[in-house]
């Protein structure tokens, strides 16, 4: 299709800036001068995908190489998808507008389970067979990485190769192998995959046979053709030496997080037992303040962004946060760049930090106590006390804040009705505290907004053995909480229970889930994370016709000796550690954070980061 | 402090206010009016021209556009005002600095002191190009536009519809046929008082001539005052 015709079609849909490309900072190359073309796919819309830091890092890193051209691809919104299908426009990359079917690699980043049907839809829009076994040629290779790749099994039928852990090194090693294999005249996909499986961090699902017992539980994973028995994730050892982009594509259309993002460390010292990110990114590795300061400045300089946020799993745990902010404020103030600090923890939220934040920008204050009672917070190892929460709120109220937002989960292991009521009671105590605070803003009311999501047990967490509560029970507990809130000063918001149930089944699904995802996709499921398109009945049908149930994956207690679909993958934390943590959880015993005391999770084997900090 | 009385003319000599004239083309035509605000803010920041920021808590550059451009249109005469923080800063130098950071799709024409208030804009020239693969003919466009009356249902801001006669709104038009395209040049009312989007005319044309189809591109060639003077 000619450029004019395509652009004419852009004008028939909502927000065509999402498909046009040509943003400042996007990388253009001559296809004739590159050896490898990589389509980096985010299986959701442009606004979501362009807000994602990982894509920006890998995009910049790949494009630093002269022989590689990495381009961006997003899922089209439904209106443009319809136009594409009507006019036989195959899925194309934003930069060149070439069909991605012609590329060497099609790489998906898997950020959440509910995007899996979009992966299938994008493959279909590209004009490719969905199942890996049906794509016979060497290229395009369909690869995937990201946090959900820690249990890649539900997508094992569709993806040729998974990257485990951080991609900066392993992705390029696979690209190099591909170049070399091509240069040797190689054309056999299976042979290539066999060789790729020898690279640390590469998981090729087709090289593993799975057997099940009569109850449907896994009997064994058997590697073949020399594939490793255990596949180890990759990490960047020295964050100061890791690549960080000096420029990124800056969208002209509106996206979710439209600002420069500066990563300050990976991993988290806390070990909250529900949090997958807190385990799979271990060990904590910080960038030094000097490097952050220089990289942040370069990024702002080159993009023209007027806002920057610091990114990590827990910003206030950064050891040099105070000096870092002091250094950064010096130039951000001068350049009129507003700095935002998400992911602050309650227990080290100091008046000094608040003062800094006020200098930066008066945004909303958000805390995440996660559970309503101390007992339950101990179970999940969220090591903060009610006193921490209240004293932080007091500091905030004295500092002029009139609204706080609190995040909670329901359905946590061992949760009782008292714990649910505890959420409302904690909210009430915060409201009361506001009116007891003498320095509160005069003549203004308080608003405590409580946002409640449903706990979903995830692989590589101590709760990977736990049953998730049923959808019916979710709704009962939501109602109980609603009934427990008696003041209008507390506003409640919810996460949909049906999507949480599906997420629960997918997160711990095995290879047979592939059939369910395919069935659901073929009956019309896509954009499942967008409430308006989600149809749970379609999914229940898909389970039924695959001969499976969501309950088998989500709602049963798993014996610690059971073989999980991800047990042949190593993300640094040992199963023994997870079992140990799970039994501590059951008796509400906490585990100190990594800086206080090593819990022996196993991540010290990498020889890097917090495990070797001076204590 | 010396009080300077503004001369009683249409000319405005506001201190610090400067006016950027530029062309907009390429993929940037998919940037909406709101998007352009973001794009130009970042462009000015990148250029390092000493721009004036608002004094509020949320400091941002002061930018206004003379007249919004519809999404999808290209333009050869876009006009944007902003303020310099330093009166003595050379406009020529500033223009060079902005030009040097322009992305593909923005081309600076000039940076000058404003001559007219943007409220004086009354007309705009457009060129509508019908692409080569259409069955649109010079004659059919010509005969459509030469009708005494062209009725069109215009959407009102309140969500309703009102019927207008587009034939009365056209100041002038001409149809040109080149080797590979048909160009329709239009002069239409523009600005705060009365504003006619050329898309209305094209829609009316397609509705009235059901056997033609095909794409077209719109370029805004100029913004004009009531008397036809170029808006500067």
pLDDT value at position A388? 86
Residue in the block written with tokens 């409201």: A431
Pairing of strands A307-311, A285-286: unpaired
The answer, yes or no, to whether residue A565 has pLDDT greater than 90, is yes
Residues of A in contact with B31 (CB under 8 A): 17, 252-253
Residues of A in contact with B72 (CB under 8 A): 10-11, 16
Q: Which residue of B has its CA nearest to A2?
A: B133
Residues of A in contact with B34 (CB under 8 A): 254
Using the CB atoms, write b or e for B74-85: b if 16+ within 10 Å. bbbbbbbbbbbe
Residues of A in contact with B59 (CB under 8 A): 336
Residues of B in contact with A250 (CB under 8 A): 42
Which residues are CB-neighbours of B160 under 8 A, at least 6 positions away? none
Number of Cβ within 10 Å of residue B176's Cβ equals 12
The answer, yes or no, to whether residue A386 has pLDDT greater than 80, is yes
The partner residue sitting opposite A250, judged by closest CB among B32, B34, B42, is B42
* B51 three-class SS: strand
The answer to whether B41 contacts A306, with C-beta atoms less than 8 Å apart, is yes
| Residue A209 and residue A221 in contact, taking contact as beta carbons nearer than 8 Å | yes
A388 versus A346: the higher-pLDDT residue is A388
Q: Tell me the pTM.
A: 0.92
Most A CBs within 10 A among B30, B41, B46, B203, hence the mutation to make, goes to B30
pLDDT value at position B138? 82
pLDDT value at position A427? 94
| Residue B191 and residue B131 in contact, taking contact as beta carbons nearer than 8 Å | no
pLDDT value at position B36? 94
| Residue B188 and residue B169 in contact, taking contact as beta carbons nearer than 8 Å | yes
CA–CA distance, A545 with A523 (Å, rounded to integer):
11
Name beta bridge partners: A107.
Answer: A40, A143
The radius of gyration of chain B from alpha carbons, rounded to an integer in Å, stands at 20
pLDDT value at position B12? 42
The 10s digit of each residue's pLDDT in A61-87 is 999 999 999 999 999 999 999 999 999
Q: What angle do CA A234, A128, A205 make, to 5 degrees?
A: 35
pLDDT value at position B216? 87
The 10s digit of each residue's pLDDT in A5-21 is 898 899 999 999 999 99
pLDDT value at position A274? 97
CA–CA distance, A303 with A255 (Å, rounded to integer):
15
Kindly report each contact of residues B166-172 with a partner whose C-beta sits within 8 Å and lies 24 or more positions away, as own/partner. Answer: B166/B196, B166/B200, B166/B201, B166/B204, B169/B194, B169/B196, B170/B145, B170/B201, B171/B123
pLDDT value at position B61? 86
Confidence of residue A615 (pLDDT cuts 50, 70, 90): low
The answer to whether B46 contacts A304, with C-beta atoms less than 8 Å apart, is yes
- pLDDT (mean) for B16-31: 92
Confidence of residue A357 (pLDDT cuts 50, 70, 90): low
Tokens representing A270 are 């806390």
The radius of gyration of chain A from alpha carbons, rounded to an integer in Å, stands at 24
- Measured in degrees and rounded to the nearest 5, phi and psi for residue A346 equal -70, -40
Residue in the block written with tokens 């069909």: A99
Lowest mean pLDDT among A260-274, A449-463, B2-16, B19-33: B2-16
Window B:151-190, CB contacts with A under 8 Å: none
The partner residue sitting opposite B35, judged by closest CB among A21, A252, A335, is A252
pLDDT value at position A344? 65
Q: Return the closest-CA partner of residue A56 out of A289, A243, A196.
A: A243
pLDDT value at position A354? 62
Lowest mean pLDDT among A45-49, A359-363, A531-535, A605-609: A359-363
- Measured in degrees and rounded to the nearest 5, phi and psi for residue A108 equal -105, 140
Q: What is the ipTM of this complex?
A: 0.85
CA–CA distance, A170 with A570 (Å, rounded to integer):
15
Q: B35 touching A, CB under 8 A?
A: yes
Measured in whole angstroms, how far is the alpha carbon of residue B127 from the centre of its chain?
Answer: 12
Q: Min CA distance, A252 vs chain B (Å)?
A: 5
Number of Cβ within 10 Å of residue A11's Cβ equals 18
Q: What angle do CA B171, B177, B179 make, to 5 degrees?
A: 155
Percent of chain A at pLDDT > 90 equals 82
Residues of B in contact with A304 (CB under 8 A): 41-43, 45-46
Using a CB–CB cut-off of 8 Å, the residues of A that contact B are: 4-5, 7-8, 10-11, 16-17, 20-24, 250, 252-254, 258, 303-306, 335-336, 338, 361-362
CB contacts < 8 Å between A and B, how many? 66
The 10s digit of each residue's pLDDT in B124-160 is 999 999 876 777 888 888 888 888 888 888 877 777 8
Name beta bridge partners: B153.
Answer: B163
Most B CBs within 10 A among A4, A95, A304, A360, hence the mutation to make, goes to A304
pLDDT value at position B170? 87
The partner residue sitting opposite A306, judged by closest CB among B31, B45, B57, is B45
Q: Which residue of A has its CA nearest to B37?
A: A252
Residue in the block written with tokens 């989500």: A554
The answer to whether B53 contacts A336, with C-beta atoms less than 8 Å apart, is yes
Q: Which residue of A has its CA nearest to B102?
A: A24
Give the CA distances from residue B205 to residues A7, A249, B132, B147, in Å, rounded to whole numbers and listed in that order: 21, 40, 17, 11
Q: Return the closest-CA partner of residue B123 out of B214, B221, B46, B48.
A: B221
Q: Which residue of A has its CA nearest to B129?
A: A4
| Residue A505 and residue A549 in contact, taking contact as beta carbons nearer than 8 Å | no
Name beta bridge partners: A220.
Answer: A211
Confidence of residue B9 (pLDDT cuts 50, 70, 90): very low
The answer to whether A22 contacts B34, with C-beta atoms less than 8 Å apart, is no
The 10s digit of each residue's pLDDT in B193-207 is 888 899 988 888 888
The 10s digit of each residue's pLDDT in A197-233 is 999 999 999 999 999 999 999 999 999 999 999 999 9
Q: B60 touching A, CB under 8 A?
A: yes
Q: B72 touching A, CB under 8 A?
A: yes
The answer, yes or no, to whether residue A257 has pLDDT greater than 80, is yes
Number of Cβ within 10 Å of residue B159's Cβ equals 6
Q: Min CA distance, A8 vs chain B (Å)?
A: 6
Confidence of residue A49 (pLDDT cuts 50, 70, 90): very high
Confidence of residue B3 (pLDDT cuts 50, 70, 90): very low
The answer, yes or no, to whether residue B6 has pLDDT greater than 90, is no
| Residue A345 and residue A272 in contact, taking contact as beta carbons nearer than 8 Å | no
Lowest mean pLDDT among A453-462, A532-541, B49-58: B49-58
Element (H, E) at B48: none
Most B CBs within 10 A among A14, A306, A331, A359, hence the mutation to make, goes to A306
CA–CA distance, A274 with A562 (Å, rounded to integer):
20
Query: What is chain B's percent helix, strand, coil content, to nearest 5?
Result: 25, 35, 45
The answer to whether B27 contacts A8, with C-beta atoms less than 8 Å apart, is no
pLDDT value at position A352? 66
Tokens representing A570 are 């190593």
pLDDT value at position A358? 57
Residues of A in contact with B103 (CB under 8 A): 22-24
Q: Which residue of B has its CA nearest to A301?
A: B46
| Residue A304 and residue A248 in contact, taking contact as beta carbons nearer than 8 Å | no
CA–CA distance, B168 with B173 (Å, rounded to integer):
12
Q: What angle do CA B80, B82, B84 make, to 5 degrees?
A: 145
Residues of A in contact with B35 (CB under 8 A): 17, 252-254
Q: Which residue of B has its CA nearest to A363?
A: B58
pLDDT value at position A364? 65
Number of Cβ within 10 Å of residue A136's Cβ equals 9
Give the CA distances from residue A46 to residues A22, A265, A470, A528, in Å, rounded to whole numbers and listed in that order: 14, 26, 33, 16
Q: B85 touching A, CB under 8 A?
A: no
Q: What angle do CA A177, A31, A301 make, to 5 degrees?
A: 90
pLDDT value at position B166? 80
The answer to whether B42 contacts A5, with C-beta atoms less than 8 Å apart, is no
Pairing of strands A569-570, A231-232: parallel
Most B CBs within 10 A among A13, A96, A248, A252, hence the mutation to make, goes to A252
Tokens representing A131 are 């199942």
Mean residue pLDDT across chain A? 93
The answer to whether A17 contacts B35, with C-beta atoms less than 8 Å apart, is yes
pLDDT value at position B180? 78
Number of Cβ within 10 Å of residue B215's Cβ equals 17
- pLDDT (mean) for A302-314: 92
Kindly report each contact of residues B91-96 with a partner whose C-beta sits within 8 Å and lies 24 or more positions away, as own/partner. Answer: B91/B18, B94/B18, B94/B47, B94/B49
The answer to whether A22 contacts B41, with C-beta atoms less than 8 Å apart, is no
Name beta bridge partners: A551.
Answer: none
Tokens representing B48 are 């390092």
- Size of chain B, expressed as the number of residues it contains: 232
- Size of chain A, expressed as the number of residues it contains: 615
DSSP 8-state assignment for residue A508: T
Residues of B in contact with A11 (CB under 8 A): 71-72
The answer to whether B217 contacts A4, with C-beta atoms less than 8 Å apart, is yes
The answer, yes or no, to whether residue B14 has pLDDT greater than 80, is no
Q: Min CA distance, A144 vs chain B (Å)?
A: 30
The 10s digit of each residue's pLDDT in A89-129 is 999 999 999 999 999 999 999 999 999 999 999 999 999 99
Q: Min CA distance, A99 vs chain B (Å)?
A: 18
Most A CBs within 10 A among B27, B37, B59, hence the mutation to make, goes to B27
Tokens representing B168 are 């009365």
Confidence of residue B178 (pLDDT cuts 50, 70, 90): confident
| Residue A17 and residue B32 in contact, taking contact as beta carbons nearer than 8 Å | yes
The partner residue sitting opposite B59, judged by closest CB among A24, A305, A336, is A336
Pairing of strands A202-203, A208-212: unpaired
Mean residue pLDDT across chain B? 85
Residues of A in contact with B217 (CB under 8 A): 4
Element (H, E) at B82: strand B74-83
CA–CA distance, B169 with B166 (Å, rounded to integer):
5
Q: Helices in A67-211 by DSSP H: which ranges?
A: 78-86, 116-126, 167-183, 189-196
The answer, yes or no, to whether residue B8 has pLDDT greater than 80, is no
Tokens representing B68 are 């919004």
Q: B18 touching A, CB under 8 A?
A: no
């Amino acid at each position: 299709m000619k450029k004019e015709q395509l652009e004419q079609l852009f004008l028939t849909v909502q927000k065509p800036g999402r498909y046009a490309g040509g943003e400042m900072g996007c990388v253009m190359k001559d296809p004739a001068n590159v050896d490898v073309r990589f389509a980096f796919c985010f299986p959701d819309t442009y606004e979501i995908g362009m807000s994602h830091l990982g894509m920006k890092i890998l995009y910049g890193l790949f494009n630093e190489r002269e022989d590689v051209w990495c381009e961006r691809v997003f899922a089209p919104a439904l209106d443009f998808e319809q136009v594409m299908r009507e006019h036989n426009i195959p899925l194309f990359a934003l930069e060149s507008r070439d069909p991605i079917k012609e590329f060497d690699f099609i790489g998906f980043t898997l950020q959440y389970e509910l995007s899996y049907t979009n992966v299938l839809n994008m493959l279909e829009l590209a004009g490719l067979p969905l199942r890996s076994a049906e794509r016979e040629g060497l290229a395009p290779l369909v690869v995937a990485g990201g946090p959900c790749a820690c249990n890649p099994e539900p997508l094992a039928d569709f993806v040729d190769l998974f990257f485990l852990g951080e991609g900066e090194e392993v992705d390029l090693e696979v690209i190099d192998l591909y170049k070399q294999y091509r240069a040797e005249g190689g054309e056999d996909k299976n042979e290539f995959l066999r060789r790729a499986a020898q690279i640390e961090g590469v998981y090729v699902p087709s090289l593993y046979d799975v057997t099940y017992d009569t109850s449907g539980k896994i009997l064994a994973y058997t590697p073949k053709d020399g594939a490793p028995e255990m596949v180890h994730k990759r990490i960047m050892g020295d964050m100061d030496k890791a690549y960080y982009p000096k420029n990124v594509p800056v969208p002209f259309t509106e996206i979710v997080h439209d600002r420069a993002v500066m990563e300050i460390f990976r991993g988290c010292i806390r070990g909250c037992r529900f949090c997958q990110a807190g385990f799979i990114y271990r060990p904590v590795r910080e960038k030094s303040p000097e490097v952050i300061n220089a990289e942040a400045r370069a990024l702002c300089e080159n993009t023209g962004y007027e806002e920057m946020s610091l990114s990590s799993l827990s910003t206030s745990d950064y050891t040099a946060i105070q000096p870092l902010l002091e250094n950064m404020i010096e130039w951000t103030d001068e350049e009129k760049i507003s700095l935002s600090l998400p992911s602050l923890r309650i227990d080290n939220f100091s008046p000094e930090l608040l003062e800094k934040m006020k200098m930066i920008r008066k945004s909303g204050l958000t805390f995440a106590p996660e559970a309503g009672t101390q007992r339950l917070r101990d179970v999940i190892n969220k090591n903060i006390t009610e006193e921490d929460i209240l004293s932080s709120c007091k500091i905030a109220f004295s500092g002029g804040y009139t609204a706080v937002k609190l995040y909670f989960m329901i359905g946590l292991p061992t949760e009782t009705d008292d714990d649910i009521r505890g959420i409302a009671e904690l909210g009430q105590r915060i409201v009361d505290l506001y009116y007891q605070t003498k320095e509160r803003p005069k003549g203004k009311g308080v608003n405590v907004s409580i946002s409640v999501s449903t706990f979903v047990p995830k692989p590589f967490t101590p709760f990977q053995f736990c049953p998730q509560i049923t959808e019916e029970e979710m709704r009962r507990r939501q109602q109980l909480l609603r009934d427990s809130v008696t003041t209008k000063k507390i506003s409640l918001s919810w996460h949909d229970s049906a999507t949480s149930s599906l997420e629960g089944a997918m997160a711990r699904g095995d290879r047979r889930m592939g059939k369910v995802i395919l069935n659901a996709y073929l009956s019309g499921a896509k954009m499942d994370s967008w409430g308006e398109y989600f149809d749970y009945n379609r999914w229940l049908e898909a389970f039924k016709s695959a001969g499976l149930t969501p309950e088998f994956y989500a709602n049963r207690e798993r014996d610690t000796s059971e073989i999980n679909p991800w047990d042949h993958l190593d993300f640094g934390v040992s199963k023994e550690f997870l079992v140990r943590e799970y039994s501590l959880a059951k008796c509400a015993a906490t585990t100190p954070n990594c800086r206080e005391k090593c819990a022996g999770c196993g991540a010290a084997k990498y020889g890097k980061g917090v495990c070797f900090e001076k204590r | 402090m010396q009080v300077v009385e503004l001369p009683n003319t249409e000319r405005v000599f506001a201190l610090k206010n400067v006016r950027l004239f530029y062309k907009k083309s390429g993929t940037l035509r998919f940037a909406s009016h709101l998007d352009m605000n973001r794009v130009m803010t970042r462009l000015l920041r990148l250029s390092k021209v000493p721009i004036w920021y608002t004094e509020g808590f949320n400091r941002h550059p002061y930018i206004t556009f003379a007249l919004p451009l519809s999404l999808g249109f290209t333009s050869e005469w876009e006009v944007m005002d902003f303020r310099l923080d330093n009166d003595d800063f050379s406009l020529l130098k500033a223009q060079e600095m902005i030009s040097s950071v322009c992305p593909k799709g923005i081309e600076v024409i000039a940076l000058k002191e404003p001559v007219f208030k943007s409220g004086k804009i009354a007309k705009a020239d457009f060129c509508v190009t019908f692409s080569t693969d259409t069955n649109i003919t010079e004659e059919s466009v010509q005969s459509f536009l030469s009708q005494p009356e062209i009725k069109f249902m215009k959407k009102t801001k309140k969500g309703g519809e009102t019927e207008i006669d587009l034939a009365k709104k056209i100041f002038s038009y001409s149809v040109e046929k080149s080797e590979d395209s048909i160009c329709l040049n239009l002069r239409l009312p523009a600005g705060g008082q009365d504003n006619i989007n050329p898309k209305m005319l094209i829609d009316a044309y397609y509705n009235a001539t059901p056997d033609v189809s095909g794409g077209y591109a719109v370029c805004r060639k100029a913004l004009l005052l009531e008397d036809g003077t170029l808006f500067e």
